[in-house]
Amino acid sequence: MENDLIYFITKHFVERMTHFKTLEYIKNSYSSRICQLTEEKKAGKKIVGTLCLFVPDEIIFAADADRVILCGGKNDTISIAEQYLPRNICPLVKSSFGSVVNNGRSGVKSCSHFGLVDIVVAENTCDSKKKMYELLGDYVPTYVLDLPQKPDSLAAVKYFLEELNKFKGVMEQLTGNKVTVEQLKKEIISSNETRKLLHRLYDLRKTDSPPISGVDVIKVMQKQYVLSAEDFKKALRSLIDEAEKIKADFKTDFTRKPRIMISGCPMPGGNTKVPEIIENRGGIIVVEESCTGTRSFWDLVDESKDPMTALAERYIKIPCSCMTPNDRRIDNILELAREFKVDGVVNYTLQFCHGYNIERYKVQQALRNAGIPVLSIETDYSDSDVEQIGLRVDAFMEMLS
Amino acid sequence: MISVGIDSGSATTKAVLVIDGQMITRNIRPTGFDFLSAAKSVCEDVLSNAGIDKKDVTGIYATGYGRNSIKFADRAVSEITAHTMGVYYLYPAVNGIIDIGGQDSKIISVNDGRVTDFLMNDKCAAGTGKFLEYTAKALEVPIEELGNLALVSKEPASITSMCTVFAESEVISLRARGFKKEDIAAGLIESIARRVAVMVRQVGLKQNVAFVGGVAKNAGIKVFLEKELGISLYVPPEPQVTGALGAALYGIGKNSIV
């Protein structure tokens, strides 16, 4: 029977994808990272918390500080945040704030690294984050990096460069270390290495039979800004090694599964609800147009230019929905759909994320014109809508196959 | 070839028996608490109606909210695909489907019997059968009569709440202000028609649109929806069973490929 064959292949395929030793390491790396951060702090190193890709790692590292991401993906801390914040703002903002405020106080488990940061370097992206940071300042020193929101002008790059220079000064003051051009250049090369490794990992997914599931890649991407840059790079290298071997061993073609791109809001650690539904119901995610995906590494920093200018130019071009116009994102989605031979796109948004929710219309139009089916899912961190989303995903898979 | 399609919905469970591509009989039961036992009962109903022995059945196919709990089914298919196949069987010219069920509404774009796009209401009862059920209760009108009552109205009241709970209090306050029963009923139906019409326009359905699901049995809603959309809608003789019918046909399609 054809059905039995598909079942066998699916089962075999899924088993095959869980054999990565590196994924085990990544899954279990959190507690050792906490030890590492605690040790660093004892030794006098400063820990910077960030919540957005717009804050350049390179400047933090050049000042010899460490950084760790504070974006919340857990549902548990949302009710704590709702004591302070309105109910109708996005779950990511509420979850992040709840984790900082909670910090072990209320019996709800939240990530321990939130209590280790010396400073939060925030950014002017969406309104909810911007106003949340004003409250966050009461709990942990918070510095806000301003972003020009019409990025396609010389004036915007110039302004952003000024902002980055101010931020560099804040890092120097915090750490007592001078940020030199040499240090910046070194850090740019190092971060570009990570970006190139991620490109290699994503290249493997362009094949007809991707050696790694989307959920697994998303779990790796969620650790990108949790782990130290060096540990993340090491993990990536070994993951790529493993994945390349599987690719070489494996000859059969599994083109039956619809190839899905997930596009939209970030998916911070603790939140893989929608990707799991997609892959449990017969799809294979081959690319994420997301902060937890291509937006974090797609463009490299120009190593030949003055480092601060090169950083300003690269970072201001991140296609976030807080920017206007944001046609760069639409172009990027179409380009990714072609490169990764995508059969359908799941436009994933968080409730009350106005930027990405409004951009949905443009994304849908562009994809429809390109003949690529789209399924839009707007959700939060709770499990209350798993069945409803499951139905939509089932129907979408049936439509694609 | 004998196949049974079961649509395990949130309010009712439907079964359709199809023999050699022809719909033979169908049955509908309230779902109650236990999805599985309701499914078993309707399945037995259609088999005994037609005098068919269970062992002669080629396949049983489930759809609907409870589709994955129907353990005795050979395969499950989403309601969206099932409704499309069922409606296409009854109305081959179909280009679009509006399905208003107990707890959700679906808008499906169809080309040559295949789903090309679809949209469902958000996780909320706005624009569903539940909305009508609750608000009819607040109006002290049996749900079956709500549509016909609304047709009598000359001046529909304006109901602005999309939220079922808030709409219920809105109905009570309109009653307190002395509005006529039929005007409130018309207001309720107009509000659901408006909500559904927005979704229809989002998907871009223009002609050859079918209206199915339990709510389609309500003549008043069809009239209001047609007025809102400016098109006439095709309602199958038994709009509640198109999902179950489609599931049965889906099974046959799959088997004929193998």
pLDDT tens string A165-181:
999 999 999 999 999 99
Domain count, chain A: 1
Q: Do residue B120 and residue A1 have CB atoms under 8 angstroms apart?
A: no
Q: Do residue B79 and residue A373 have CB atoms under 8 angstroms apart?
A: no
Give which of B41, B35, B153 is closest to B102, Cα–Cα.
Answer: B35
Give how far Cα A305 sits from Cα of A151, A308, A313, B18, B76, Å: 19, 8, 10, 72, 58
What is the mean pLDDT of the segment spanning B104-130? 87
For residue B127, how far is the Cα from the chain centroid?
Answer: 12
Touching check for B117 and chain A: CB below 8 Å? Answer: yes
Q: Do residue B123 and residue A385 have CB atoms under 8 angstroms apart?
A: yes
- Average pLDDT score, chain B: 91
Say how far apart CA A112 and CA A35 lie, in whole Å. Answer: 10
Q: What is the ipTM of this complex?
A: 0.89
Residue B46's pLDDT band (boundaries 50, 70, 90)? very high
Say how far apart CA B118 and CA B209 lie, in whole Å. Answer: 13
Say how far apart CA A67 and CA B132 lie, in whole Å. Answer: 53
Give how far Cα A190 sits from Cα of A47, A240, A287, Å: 19, 18, 24
Residue B123's pLDDT band (boundaries 50, 70, 90)? low
pLDDT of residue B159: 87
pLDDT of residue B244: 97
Kindly report the nearest CA distance between residue A333 and chain B, in angstroms: 19
Touching check for A399 and chain B: CB below 8 Å? Answer: yes
A249 pLDDT above the threshold of 70: no
Touching check for B44 and chain A: CB below 8 Å? Answer: no
Tens digits of residue pLDDT in A353-376: 999 999 999 999 999 999 999 999
Kindly report the nearest CA distance between residue A396 and chain B, in angstroms: 8
What is the mean pLDDT of the segment spanning B207-221? 91
A250 pLDDT above the threshold of 90: no
Say how far apart CA A171 and CA A177 lie, in whole Å. Answer: 8
Contacts of A110 (CB under 8 A, 6+ apart): A72, A74, A76, A77, A98, A99, A102, A103, A104
Tens digits of residue pLDDT in A106-161: 667 667 788 899 999 999 999 999 999 999 999 999 999 999 999 999 999 999 99
As assigned by CATH, the class of the B93-235 domain is: alpha beta
Could you tell me which residue, A249 or A334, shows the higher pLDDT? A334
What is the mean pLDDT of the segment spanning A186-215? 96
Q: Do residue B78 and residue A388 have CB atoms under 8 angstroms apart?
A: no
Tens digits of residue pLDDT in A70-89: 999 999 999 999 999 999 99
Chain A residues near residue B123 by CB distance under 8 angstroms: 384-385, 388
pLDDT of residue B41: 96
**Portions of chain B given CATH number 3.30.420.40:** 1-91+240-258, 93-235
pLDDT of residue A75: 92
Closest Cβ opposite residue B117 in set A3, A373, A398: A373
pLDDT of residue B104: 85
For residue A118, how far is the Cα from the chain centroid?
Answer: 23
Best mutation site among B77, B123, B130 for testing chain A: the one with the most A CBs within 10 Å? B123
What is the mean pLDDT of the segment spanning B2-29? 94
Q: How many beta carbons lie within 10 A of that of residue B53, not counting itself? A: 9
Residue B101's pLDDT band (boundaries 50, 70, 90)? confident
Residue A18's pLDDT band (boundaries 50, 70, 90)? low
Touching check for B116 and chain A: CB below 8 Å? Answer: yes
A25 pLDDT above the threshold of 50: yes
Say how far apart CA A113 and CA A66 lie, in whole Å. Answer: 12
Q: Do residue A391 and residue B81 have CB atoms under 8 angstroms apart?
A: no
Enumerate long-range contacts of A180-184, CB under 8 Å, 24 or more apart: A180/A62, A181/A306, A181/A307, A183/A62, A183/A63, A184/A58, A184/A59, A184/A62, A184/A307, A184/A308, A184/A311
Say how far apart CA B76 and CA B247 lie, in whole Å. Answer: 8
Touching check for B62 and chain A: CB below 8 Å? Answer: no
Q: Do residue A395 and residue B79 have CB atoms under 8 angstroms apart?
A: yes
Could you tell me which residue, A113 or A264, shows the higher pLDDT? A264
Could you tell me which residue, B237 or A10, shows the higher pLDDT? B237
What is the per-residue DSSP string for A255-285? Answer: TTSPEEEEEES---TT--HHHHHHHHTT-EE
B31 pLDDT above the threshold of 90: yes
What is the mean pLDDT of the segment spanning B249-257? 66
Q: Which of A257-261, B135-139, B221-225 has the lowest mean pLDDT?
A: B135-139
Touching check for A391 and chain B: CB below 8 Å? Answer: yes
What is the mean pLDDT of the segment spanning B114-126? 84
pLDDT of residue A115: 84
pLDDT of residue A167: 98
Kindly report the nearest CA distance between residue B258 and chain A, in angstroms: 7
What is the mean pLDDT of the segment spanning B182-203? 92
Pairing mode, strands B114-120 and B105-111:
antiparallel
CA nearest to A390 within chain B? B78
Touching check for B61 and chain A: CB below 8 Å? Answer: no
Q: Do residue A2 and residue B258 have CB atoms under 8 angstroms apart?
A: yes
Closest Cβ opposite residue A395 in set B118, B122, B123: B118
pLDDT of residue B10: 85
A260 pLDDT above the threshold of 80: yes
Residue B234 and residue B110 in contact, taking contact as beta carbons nearer than 8 Å: no
pLDDT of residue A299: 98
Say how far apart CA A138 and CA A130 lie, in whole Å. Answer: 14
Beta-carbon contacts below 8 Å between A and B: 42
Residue A42's pLDDT band (boundaries 50, 70, 90)? very high
pLDDT of residue B26: 96
Residues 81-120 of chain A with CB under 8 A from chain B are none
Chain A residues near residue B122 by CB distance under 8 angstroms: 378
A20 pLDDT above the threshold of 80: yes
B125 pLDDT above the threshold of 90: no
pLDDT of residue A104: 58
Touching check for B109 and chain A: CB below 8 Å? Answer: no
pLDDT of residue B126: 73
Give which of B84, B46, B44 is closest to B63, Cα–Cα.
Answer: B84
Q: Which of A217-221, A245-249, B54-58, B221-225 has the lowest mean pLDDT?
A: A245-249
**Ranges A2-11, A108-117, A313-322, most confident:** A313-322
Where in A7-61 does DSSP place strands (E)?
47-50
Residue A103's pLDDT band (boundaries 50, 70, 90)? low
Domain limits for position A307: 2-400
pLDDT of residue A270: 86
Q: Do residue A395 and residue B115 have CB atoms under 8 angstroms apart?
A: yes
Residue A256's pLDDT band (boundaries 50, 70, 90)? confident
Give which of A273, A279, A277 is closest to A391, Cα–Cα.
Answer: A277
What is the mean pLDDT of the segment spanning A286-296? 98
Chain A residues near residue B121 by CB distance under 8 angstroms: none
Say how far apart CA A241 and CA A289 lie, in whole Å. Answer: 24
- Average pLDDT score, chain A: 92
Touching check for A58 and chain B: CB below 8 Å? Answer: no
Chain B residues near residue A1 by CB distance under 8 angstroms: 258
Touching check for B79 and chain A: CB below 8 Å? Answer: yes
Tens digits of residue pLDDT in A329-340: 999 999 999 999
CATH code matching the domain that covers B1-91+240-258, chosen among 3.40.50.300, 1.10.10.10, 3.30.420.40, 3.10.129.10? 3.30.420.40
Give which of B164, B173, B175 is closest to B140, Cα–Cα.
Answer: B175
A216 pLDDT above the threshold of 50: yes
Touching check for A385 and chain B: CB below 8 Å? Answer: yes
What is the mean pLDDT of the segment spanning A228-234? 97
pLDDT of residue B166: 84
Touching check for A395 and chain B: CB below 8 Å? Answer: yes
Say how far apart CA A381 and CA A389 lie, in whole Å. Answer: 13
Q: How many beta carbons lie within 10 A of that of residue A333, not counting itself? A: 28
Q: Do residue B78 and residue A384 have CB atoms under 8 angstroms apart?
A: no
CA nearest to B116 within chain A? A399
